[in-house]
Every structure is written in C-alpha cells, then in structure tokens.
C-alpha cells in the first residue's frame, strides 16, 4: 500500500476510534477500506473499477448516503435511475421491471444484464455482457434455466437453443455482427410479451421490428395486400413471423423452413384453407383443393420442387389481388408470370385457369374423371363376377379330374423374355408411379430413400424400357412368321362370341363345359392381351405429354397436361386392379391351372380339365 492510502486509513481509524466528528468521503478514503482484501469492508477491485465505464465517477455519485466516514453500516441500495432516468422509466414499464417491482427475484434487474456496476463495461467492449456477441449468453443465463423459467409458462421453453438453429443464430455463430440477436427482436429496456401492444414482437409491430434490418422487404410488404391489411389492424393478416416463423426461422433452402419450396403451399394453406378466414373476407374456399387438382398440385404432392407453388405465381412479399394491374396474376401480366417457367407457352397458359370458379375448368377433365369412375367399377366388377362363376362351377366337378399332360409349346424362349421384361417393367412402373402420387404412404416407403428425383428417374427410365419393349413386340408381330401367326390367332372372331355364350350356359348349369379353342387363344386371353395393348398405348401417350409438358402446352391447350394426369392415374388403377383380378386368376387361381401356369418359365402349360390340347405353333 502506498503512503497516501496508509495515512488515510490510519486517519480514518483514529477518527472512528476517538469518536470525533466524521470527515468527508472521497475515493481515496473509500479505497482505504474497500480496496483491501480480507477486511471487514466489502472488497472493491479499484483497478477494475477504474477501467469500467463508471471508473470516472466518484464513489458517492452512486452511494449518495456515504458522504462521510464513517458511514452507516447499511447503505441505501444504489439506484441506477439517478443517472439513467430515461432508460429506467422505460425499464420500469417492461415485463422485467414490473416483475422486479412485484418482488420476483427471478426477474432481470440492471446488474443481471449489464454486469456489476463496479466492473460494468461499455456495450462496445468485447467483455461487456450486453455486447452484441454476448447477448445470447446473457439472456441464456435465465431463459435456459428450466427450473427458474418453468413457473412463468413461457411459449419458448429453450429459446436460446432454438435460436441457435435459426438463420440468425447461425449467422451470429459465424461472427456476423449484423445478425439479429435477442434484443433486436424483443427489445432491451423496453422488453414486453408478445400479447402487449407496446411489444416489438406484438403481431402488428412485427413488420417494423423485422424492417429495421430488412428495410427493402418492409417497403415491398407494406405495399402488398397482406401489409395493407395488417396496417388496418386485421389480425388475420400474415406478418413476417406468420410465414417465416419466430424461433424456427430457417434459410429458404432448408427443408425445415416454412418458406422452403416444398413447404410454401402448406404455409399459405394455414390461412387460406381455413373456412373461417374464407368466410370473413369473402375468399374462395377451394383455393387449396383447386390447386392440388392441377398438374402443378399433383406434382408438388409427390415432392417435385420444380413445379409452381403459391409464391411462384402470386409472389411472396409483393402479393397483390388479381384486380391490381401490378399483380403478377393480373390478366395482363399472366403471360409473363407463366413464361418464367414455360417459355413459349405463356400466351396459351394465360388463357387457362388454376383457381377458377366452379365450372371454369375444361369439360374434358370432368368427363375423363367420370368416365373412369364408371368404367373401372363396371370392368373390375364384371371380371370378379366372371371369375366367381367359373370358380364355383369348377368346384362342383369330381375331385378325381386328371392332372392332364403338357400341351404343345406355348411360349418360345424369346416370348418368355418378352413376358419377363414386361413383368419387371409393369411392377416397377406401378410401384414407382404410386410412390410419386403418394410419397408419404407407408407401403411405398421402399423408395423413400431415393427422394422425389430418384423416384421420378426410376419411373421414367423404366417407362423408356417399356416403350422399347413395345417397339420390339410390334416388330416381332409384323416380321416374324410365328409372330404373325400369333397375331392372327389373337384377333377376335365369331368363335369367341360362341365360346362366351357356351361358357355362360355352362356357368348356369344349362350346358356342358366348352373346350378351349383349338390352335388359338380362348376369349379370356384375348380380352387380356388387347386390354394390355390399349392400356399401354394410353399410358405411353399420356406419359409423353407429362414428361414433355412444356412442348405440349406450347402447341396445345393448357388443360392438356391436367387431362393427361387424370387419365394416366386412373388408367394405372384400372391396369393394376385388372392384373390382380383377371390375370392372376387365369394363371394362378383357376382350378384347371392351380398352383400356376408355368408357361412363362418352361414354355408349356398343363391343364386339369380333359379336352382338346392346343397344337404346337
């Protein structure tokens, strides 16, 4: 200790011991007692205090009742408001300030955020708890303390942990000082809960809060129909957090982001699919269903990120009603909007409808849907009835029907290869196609690791293989002698009609069991073959339209892809169901064939029913 401080200490002790009149306190006098470790007086690191933001102040500036030495043993608590009057008035109205006034010890007071007054640093100093780099840790001391915060029922149980995962938290960890921290959104001395109209995060104030950093976005949002509605006090109007989230804000490239391309439609539907919102503001209630029924909607449901979502057409911060000439969906601007994705097809697309009123869609779409809704039950129902009649009639025969002998060669090795490739293609096309239509279905989870792009690639490459097989088969039928003979035998004729009626009489017990045709296919096989030909033709044509949709829309009407989508889907349902009901019965469950027609492996067929055998072809 230097001589000056020692002398001051000795003088203070002497005065106190003698009970003489107290002397005026100055910083040196205070340091004589409080600057010593281990003494009775509370220790103050005078060197640290001198380096603090308060270091130029006198001790009595804060400890106003210690103007004389000796001073009272218990001093009046220091009030920061003596100097920081404006900040204190604001703080006392905040949630923290009111909680402190109520005596809640957990509530943050000045020192809890800024640090102890004797060591308090300027917020620009890296050591300050309220330096931008340290704000997160400072708030976390209380708000990440689950035991402390549990009784306050806050909406965010772990706000700092969730903040760290956001785009703002990521930027802060990277050292970017312009990234938003807790106080930028919630305030500091003026902190209030989200339900308080004075809060920065009150729904109506949110755009201005975010706009402090995102000024350009704010100016565009204010012009939009959402911004105008929010300014009028309409609570249903979306603000920044309605679409981007709060402690869940992610980059738009993040799959967990509310504004990720694959999530935008769901985010918009959160409001626009609500019946209450639609009724209150006179909005069409079918916005989401009418979009999901389109080519865009169906592709979006299967995970295709390239197709148009809500924001692709309507915009995002600049959304305006279609009646506004500045709107991207105004009739004058539609060609340019559609042309962003469909160059050359924009004029035709501008004439179409996406969210048209009832009856605005092309009549062909409704006709196609109703056609299949009628044809599929009738077709499959007829097949089921035919097979049941056949099964019941054959079950009435004696059990000692001979197993029979192999018939003549049914399929050559080349024909078996064609059947095998067709089998693999059909299964792969059906499974991958339904996986694209219903990407979240459990029974289609086998292809989930491939993602939408992988499922789409599998479907299209398999479709190409199927098309090549079809070309080969047509060449086989036209150029090979055996192929031409098979084609002639597959052509329907009067004999098939007679066989149908003979079999019906047999099923009804009015006649004997008819024999299978000699040297040709019976009517059930012909029905199956020509159904396959027709279905393949329809699936190939509609598939090509869907793959080359831009070309189709450039040269044809805009409803054509939607029509192709409907037909492709329902034709797939019809084909798959027919295979299970018709083909499986003919080659597996038919009592004359059971347990299986082995021609697809061995080339030969064995029937149990006695009768004429097919000749070698």
Please state, for a pLDDT cut of 90, what percent of the chain lies above it.
52
Q: Give the per-residue pLDDT at 356.
A: 58
* 360, 351 Cβ separation under 8 angstroms: no
Residues 60-94: pLDDT tens digits? 888 888 888 888 888 888 889 889 999 999 999 99
Residues 238-252: pLDDT tens digits? 999 999 999 989 999
* 383, 578 Cβ separation under 8 angstroms: yes
With 60 as the cut, is the pLDDT of residue 10 above it? no
Half-sphere exposure of 98 (CA within 13 A, CB side): 7
Q: Give the per-residue pLDDT at 180.
A: 94
Output the six-digit token pair for 588: 């597996």
Q: Which residues contact 201 (CB under 8 A, 6 or more apart)?
A: 185, 186, 194, 209, 241, 246
Q: Looking at 6-10, 120-124, 244-248, 472-476, which range is the least confident one?
A: 6-10
Residues 328-372: pLDDT tens digits? 999 888 888 888 888 776 666 666 666 655 556 788 888 999 999
Please state, for a pLDDT cut of 70, what percent of the chain lies above it.
89
> Cα(421)–Cα(583) distance, rounded to whole angstroms?
17
Residues 299-327: pLDDT tens digits? 787 777 888 999 999 999 999 998 999 99
Output the six-digit token pair for 387: 């097979």
User: Phi and psi (nearest 5°) for 260?
Assistant: -65, 145
Mean pLDDT of 147-161: 88
Partnered with residue 74 across adjacent β-strands are none
> Cα(170)–Cα(179) distance, rounded to whole angstroms?
9
Residues 27-67: pLDDT tens digits? 888 888 898 888 888 899 988 998 999 988 888 888 888 88
* 542, 568 Cβ separation under 8 angstroms: yes
> Cα(265)–Cα(285) distance, rounded to whole angstroms?
15
Q: Give the per-residue pLDDT at 161.
A: 92
Helix (H) and strand (E) counts in the chain: 33, 2
With 50 as the cut, is the pLDDT of residue 572 above it? yes
User: Measured between alpha carbons, how far apart are the two ends of the chain, in Å?
Assistant: 121
Q: Pick from 313, 304, 307, 306: which is nearest to 352 by CA?
A: 313
With 90 as the cut, is the pLDDT of residue 472 above it? yes
Residues 542-563: pLDDT tens digits? 999 999 987 887 788 878 888 9
Residues 186-222: pLDDT tens digits? 999 999 999 999 999 999 999 999 999 999 999 999 9
Q: Tell the residue number behind the tokens 């869907």, with chain if given.
A: 546
H/E element, 23: strand 23-24
> Cα(179)–Cα(401) distance, rounded to whole angstroms?
85
pLDDT band at 16 (very low <50, low <70, confident <90, very high): very low
Distances 574 to 104, 301, 368, 543 between C-alpha atoms, Å: 70, 22, 14, 16
Residues 374-417: pLDDT tens digits? 999 999 999 999 999 999 988 887 655 555 556 678 899 999 99
What does 68-127 look like in DSSP terms, one character per residue?
EES--SSPPPP-GGGT-HHHHHHHHTSHHHHHHHTT-TTS--HHHHH--TTT---TTSTT
**For all residues of the chain together, what is the average pLDDT?**
86
Output the six-digit token pair for 290: 């009418």
Residues 98-119: pLDDT tens digits? 999 999 989 999 999 999 889 9
With 90 as the cut, is the pLDDT of residue 431 above it? yes
> Cα(187)–Cα(603) distance, rounded to whole angstroms?
81
Global pTM? 0.67
| 525 alpha carbon, distance to own chain's centre | 46
* 465, 418 Cβ separation under 8 angstroms: no
Q: Give the per-residue pLDDT at 74.
A: 87
Residues 593-604: pLDDT tens digits? 888 989 899 988
Q: Give the per-residue pLDDT at 399.
A: 58
Q: Which residues contact 397 (CB under 8 A, 6 or more apart)?
A: none
- 278-295 burial, b at 16+ Cβ within 10 Å, e below that, comes to beeeeeeebbbebbebbb
Mean pLDDT of 506-518: 76
> Cα(268)–Cα(311) distance, rounded to whole angstroms?
9
Give the number of other CB atoms < 10 A from CB of residue 302.
Answer: 18
């Amino acid at each position: 200790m230097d001589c000056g401080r020692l002398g001051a200490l000795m003088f203070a002790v002497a005065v106190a011991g003698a009970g003489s009149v107290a002397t005026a306190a100055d910083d040196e006098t205070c340091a004589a007692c409080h600057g010593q470790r281990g003494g009775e007086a509370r220790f103050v690191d005078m060197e640290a205090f001198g380096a603090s933001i308060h270091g130029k102040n006198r001790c009595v500036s804060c400890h106003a009742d210690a103007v004389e030495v000796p001073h009272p043993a218990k001093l009046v608590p220091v009030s920061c408001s003596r100097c920081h009057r404006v900040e204190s008035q604001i703080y006392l109205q905040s949630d923290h300030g009111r909680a402190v006034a109520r005596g809640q010890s957990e509530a943050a007071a000045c020192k809890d955020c800024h640090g102890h007054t004797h060591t308090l640093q300027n917020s620009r100093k890296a050591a300050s708890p309220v330096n931008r780099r340290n704000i997160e840790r400072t708030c976390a001391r209380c708000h990440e303390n689950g035991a402390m915060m549990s009784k306050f029922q806050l909406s965010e149980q772990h706000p700092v942990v969730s903040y760290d995962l956001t785009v703002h938290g990521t930027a802060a960890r990277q050292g970017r000082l312009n990234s938003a921290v807790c106080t930028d959104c919630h305030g500091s001395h003026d902190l209030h809960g989200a339900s308080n109209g004075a809060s920065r995060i009150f729904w109506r104030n949110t755009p201005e809060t975010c706009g402090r950093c995102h000024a350009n976005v704010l100016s565009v949002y204010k012009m939009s129909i959402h911004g105008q509605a929010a300014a009028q006090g309409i609570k249903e109007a979306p603000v920044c957090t309605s679409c981007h989230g709060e402690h869940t804000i992610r980059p738009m490239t993040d799959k967990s982001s509310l504004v990720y391309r694959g999530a935008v439609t769901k985010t918009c539907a959160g409001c626009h699919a609500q019946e209450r919102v639609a009724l209150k503001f006179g909005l069409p209630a079918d916005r989401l269903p009418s979009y999901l029924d389109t080519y865009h909607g169906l592709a979006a449901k299967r995970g295709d990120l390239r197709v148009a979502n809500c924001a692709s057409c309507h915009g995002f911060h600049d959304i305006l009603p279609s009646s506004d000439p500045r709107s991207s969906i105004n009739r004058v601007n539609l060609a340019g909007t559609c042309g962003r994705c469909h160059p050359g097809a924009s004029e035709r697309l501008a004439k179409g409808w996406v969210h048209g009123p009832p009856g605005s869609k092309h009549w062909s779409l409704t006709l196609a849907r109703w056609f299949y809704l009628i044809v599929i039950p009738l077709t499959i129902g007829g097949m089921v009835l035919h097979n049941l009649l056949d099964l019941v009639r054959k079950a009435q025969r004696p059990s000692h029907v001979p197993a029979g002998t192999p018939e003549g060669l049914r399929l050559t090795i080349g024909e078996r290869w064609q059947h095998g490739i067709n089998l693999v293609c059909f299964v792969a096309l059906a499974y991958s196609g339904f996986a694209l239509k219903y990407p979240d279905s459990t029974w289609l989870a086998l292809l989930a690791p491939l993602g939408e792009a992988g499922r789409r690639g599998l479907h299209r490459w398999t479709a190409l293989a199927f098309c090549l097989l079809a070309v080969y088969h047509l060449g086989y039928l036209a150029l090979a002698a055996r192929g031409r003979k098979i084609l002639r035998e597959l052509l329907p004729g009067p004999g098939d009609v007679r066989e149908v009626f003979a079999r019906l009489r047999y099923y009804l017990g009015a006649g004997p069991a008819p024999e299978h045709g000699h040297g040709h296919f019976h009517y059930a096989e012909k029905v199956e073959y020509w159904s396959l030909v027709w279905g393949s033709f329809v699936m190939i044509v509609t598939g090509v339209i869907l793959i080359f949709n831009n070309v189709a829309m450039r040269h044809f009407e805009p409803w054509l892809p939607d029509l192709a989508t409907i037909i492709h889907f329902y034709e797939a349902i019809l084909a798959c169901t027919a295979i299970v009901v018709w083909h499986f019965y003919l080659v597996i469950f038919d009592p004359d064939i059971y347990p299986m027609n082995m021609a697809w492996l061995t080339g030969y067929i064995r029937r149990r029913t006695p009768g004429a055998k097919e000749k070698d072809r």
